[in-house]
Amino acid sequence: MQKVFITLLLTVFCVVVKAQSMKAFADSIRIKYQIPELAYAVVSADGIFEFQISGVQRIHTNLQAKQSDRFHLGSNTKAITCFIAALLVQQEKIKWDTKIFDLFPELKVKRNSNDFRTPYI
């Protein structure tokens, strides 16, 4: 019984130390690149393993970062589009080399007109 307790105690200690080192690593990145506020989470389908936030809300202030602060996520359209494409490939609805005009043939007629303003398709 004592061995089980010691093993459990060491496991909890190692998890706490690892979480502290991850927070220190993230904070060192925040400082190196002069990011005022940084938050990260380690998540899975079952829940949140770790959530940390550090820094200040605004440059040149002492307003400490809070868990309720909101962040601008930036341009994630490409990443989200790739994620959706990967799901569709996994579901075998499309292939990695599927062309956009194979999915939307009606756009092919408009591709050279002035009405079609997306030059990258």
Can you give the pLDDT of all 121 residues of the chain as single tens digits? Answer: 566 555 554 555 555 545 567 889 999 999 999 999 999 888 888 888 889 999 999 889 999 999 999 887 777 788 888 999 999 999 999 999 998 888 888 887 766 665 555 555 4
* Domain residue ranges in the chain: 2-55, 73-121
Beta strands in the chain (DSSP E): 37-44, 47-55
| Residues 6+ positions from 95 with CB-CB distance below 8 Å | 89
Q: Which residue has the tokens 């019984």?
A: 1
> Whole-angstrom Cα distance, residue 14 to residue 32?
27
**Is this structure's pTM higher than 0.85?**
no
Collapsing DSSP to helix, strand or coil, 36 comes out as: coil
